[in-house]
Amino acid sequence: MRRTAGFLYLLVSLAALLFCWIGPYPLNDLRGGDIPYLLLVMLHAGWGVFLIASGGRYGRRRTFIWIVRVPEILFSCTLLLFLFSYIYALNANMDYVQRFIATGGNLRLARDTSEERIIAWLRHGPLLLGGAGAFIGFRLAYRRRFRELWMGPSAVRTWAFPLVLLSVILAALSFPSFVHLDGLGFLAFVALVPLFVVLRQVSYGWGVFYGVCFGVFFNLILNYWLGPYSLVSLLMTVVLFLVLYVLFMAPALWIFHSVRRGRFLVFPLAWVVFDYLRSVGFLGYPWGFFGLTQYRFLPLIQTAAVTGVWGVSFVVLLVNAGLASAVCSHMALFRRWGETEEPRRCSLGPMYLAVGVLVGCMLLGGLRLAVETYRNPCRQAETVRIALVQQNSDPRKHDYGRTFGALKRLTDRAVREEPDLIAWSETAFVPNIRRWSREDPERYALAALVRDFLAYQRSLNTWLVTGNDDYVFRMDEEGRRVRADYNAAVLFSSQGRRVDTYHKVRLVPFTEHFPYRETMPRVYRLLQEFDVTFWEPGAERRVLEHPRFCFATPICFEDAFPNDVRRFVLAGAEVILNLSNDYWSLTKVEAKQHAIASLFRAVENRRPLLRSTASGLTVFIDPAGRIIRSIPYYREAQMVVDVELPGRGITAYTRFGDWFPWAALVGVGVLLSLSLTVYRRM
């Protein structure tokens, strides 16, 4: 079998090299993106040579284990590179990449997306088929060495990698995806069961490997829409989650193996801590929390008003851990039936506890919704009328005048309903209003466009907030006057006066901001070659004041950060008004994922939330998390909604913040301490 597998690896490696030689990307014209692929081909060929040279005997058990495990490693690397290439093929039709090719020249793309995807299949297909054949072939040929090949705990170790991939697929489908735009949220309660069962049955080292595989593949599939946005974002996401899941799985699995009582609680608690930590700091990226999958389950998500989204994630993770514990208990019972030992009863306590917590949260959430619905039915709450405008264009990609024309056309329709405030999206009006309003419109086209905008805004006789570029001059450490550019939200009064400006505080890492220009100049120059536009982060989270209410304008993905929006509310925001540009992704999936992430900010703080997007999901969400009204994806439209202003009360989450992840960290420490103490006494 070894020699057969060795020849198979050599054959698929030669097929891959042959395609490179006669295909559209010849070996005599290598680019930076070809090097990982050629290295992967060399690894396959080298492993094939090793298998042929090692002969057909089993050898020592340790050698045998590595021989059947290495195909998993090679297959996982091949699958990762294939998915990356396939997702990046989405760029083939986009001006972003053409601009990058003109400046960088390190990568090549076919004439269109379909051709580029075919190339990805042809390049990686032989390696994927060969790896899958070797993986299955070894297990069938050496089935005597794989005790209980199809059933029992040994079967989990035998087929661990496919079980992990099953968890990846179920987890990805539980979120909004290309399969189901609303997401199959019920799958989240069982998605991690195969992974948790594998982590219970395999050794520590392989457990870390499988856990990292899950994290990287899950987040790559979940965030596939980053492909059209930026190669840098896609690449950094893969690298970031590779590192993060190593740092998470290594200690979490060690704690899991060390804890003897309450072991099933380790991963639900540790995963909440992990999600929290990866959402803070410069590299913070709060995407893929399992609690987000339950956005349509209103009774359950009311828990977020106390614990934040972290508590909802914990409930979902706890149910997965309880079910995995029950599965493993059944497998252990099955194993003892074939032995002389008297079979014990199956332990279902963890599963019952998890279901009890889920039912309890649902009942409390349902009770809260009922109380809020029927409390003071005669009270006349104050409302404000807000118009949301979706011009269905990428402001930076399309002609500025054309975009402004669409904004005026849609705004004129909205003004007929006499809104108190009109909201345009992130950078809806691109020319820098502060700068070009000071220039001569007879000399500069952008100055003329800004003059037209200011005149139009005054003619509306109502307040308007729009995304725009902004800048201020400041003194650097050497006393020089330097300009700092910002991604901003600008508020204008009904008389046309510029009232206030909010500068985006949390910028997208590597694609909007890189704070290590001096310490990592090479990385900074490389990012510039990839056509990255850098901004300065804002200094404070300003709450904008309208005569009738106060509102916050988190920009872009700022509304996905729980604590950031909470700080706006503590500063006095009565309404959360997000300004975003989701047009660039050209996919409804990204827009829906972004919207459900922001939905939890309404529940956590009991504040109405509105999103005005260039295109994506322009939506109005009430404080309980209900989607009241929305504009269809990728369509020019406006929406005028009456928003009920909340009282001055704040929720437990708004008052105490992210206390739940810290409590989860304490819980992990308590479990570990108790187990180590008991172990030392034994």
Q: How many domains does the chain have?
A: 3
327, 286: one domain: yes
What pLDDT is stored for residue 553 in this prediction? Answer: 96
Measure the N-to-C terminal CA separation of the chain; round to a whole number of Å: 47
What pLDDT is stored for residue 110 in this prediction? Answer: 53
Cα gap 526→100, rounded to integer Å: 12
What pLDDT is stored for residue 342 in this prediction? Answer: 44
- What is the amino acid identity at position 200? R
Cα gap 562→542, rounded to integer Å: 16
The answer to whether 241 and 215 are in contact (CB under 8 A) is: yes
Residues pairing with 468 in the sheet: 488
133, 200: one domain: no
What pLDDT is stored for residue 251 in this prediction? Answer: 94
The answer to whether 261 and 619 are in contact (CB under 8 A) is: no
426 given a catalytic annotation: yes
List Cβ<8 Å contacts ≥24 apart for 241-249: 241/215, 241/216, 242/212, 242/215, 242/216, 244/215, 244/274, 244/278, 245/211, 245/212, 245/214, 245/215, 245/216, 246/208, 246/212, 248/211, 248/215, 248/274, 249/207, 249/208, 249/211, 249/212, 249/215
97, 223: one domain: no
Tell me the CATH number at 404.
3.60.110.10
Instruction: Print burial letters for 543-567: b (CB count within 10 Å at least 16), e (below 16).
Output: bbebeebebbbbbbbbbbbbbbbbb
Of 362, 381, 400, which one is at a domain's C-terminal end?
381
Task: Write the CA distances from 143 to 130, 138, 334, integer angstroms.
Answer: 20, 8, 20
Cα gap 508→581, rounded to integer Å: 13
Catalytic residue among 72, 426, 512, 558: 426
What pLDDT is stored for residue 338 in this prediction? Answer: 42
153, 291: one domain: yes
Distance of CA 10 to the CA centre of its chain: 38
130, 93: one domain: yes
Distance of CA 53 to the CA centre of its chain: 45
The answer to whether 407 and 389 are in contact (CB under 8 A) is: yes
Q: What average pLDDT values come out for the chain (682 residues) when binned by 10 residues?
A: 78 78 54 74 86 63 68 91 83 48 48 74 86 81 57 74 95 95 96 94 92 95 80 78 94 90 92 95 89 96 96 97 88 49 62 94 93 68 93 80 92 95 93 87 86 94 94 76 88 94 87 68 63 76 94 94 95 95 86 95 96 93 95 94 89 96 94 72 46
73 occurs within a structural domain: yes
106, 168: one domain: no
197, 139: one domain: no
Task: Write the CA distances from 412 to 405, 484, 579, integer angstroms.
Answer: 11, 34, 20
DSSP state of 577: E
191 occurs within a structural domain: yes
Can you list the positions of beta strands (E) in 597-664? 609-613, 619-621, 627-630, 637-644
- Look up the domain containing 437 and give its range: 384-505+540-644
432, 375: one domain: no
The answer to whether 406 and 428 are in contact (CB under 8 A) is: no
Q: Give the DSSP per-residue string, 554-565.
A: -BGGGGG-HHHH
531 occurs within a structural domain: no
Contact partners, residue 142, CB within 8 Å, separation at least 6: 1, 58, 64, 68
What pLDDT is stored for residue 491 in this prediction? Answer: 97
- In terms of Cα–Cα distance, which of 389, 472, 390, 466 is closest to 430? 466
Cα gap 422→612, rounded to integer Å: 10
- In terms of Cα–Cα distance, which of 605, 518, 496, 497 is closest to 561? 605
Taken as a whole, the chain contains a residue count of: 682
354, 450: one domain: no
679 occurs within a structural domain: no
430, 563: one domain: yes
Cα gap 662→649, rounded to integer Å: 24
What pLDDT is stored for residue 455 in this prediction? Answer: 94
Decide: helix, strand or coil at residue 187: helix
Tell me the backbone φ, ψ of residue 339, rounded to 5 degrees. Answer: -115, 175
77 occurs within a structural domain: yes
Catalytic residue among 328, 361, 556, 590: 556
Torsion (CA) 561, 564, 566, 572 in degrees, nearest 10: -140
What pLDDT is stored for residue 631 in this prediction? Answer: 95
What pLDDT is stored for residue 245 in this prediction? Answer: 95
592 given a catalytic annotation: no
661 occurs within a structural domain: no
Catalytic residue among 213, 361, 504, 512: 504
664 occurs within a structural domain: no
Contact partners, residue 144, CB within 8 Å, separation at least 6: none
Cα gap 131→525, rounded to integer Å: 38
Q: Which helix (H) or strand (E) holds 474?
A: strand 463-475
328 given a catalytic annotation: no
272, 161: one domain: yes
What pLDDT is stored for residue 16 in this prediction? Answer: 78
What pLDDT is stored for residue 48 in this prediction? Answer: 85
Contact partners, residue 178, CB within 8 Å, separation at least 6: 224, 587, 589
316 occurs within a structural domain: yes
Of 329, 349, 381, which one is at a domain's C-terminal end?
381
Q: Give the DSSP per-residue string, 316-336.
A: HHHHHHHHHHHHHHHHHHHHH
The answer to whether 326 and 346 are in contact (CB under 8 A) is: yes
129, 233: one domain: no
Of 96, 121, 146, which one is at a domain's C-terminal end?
146
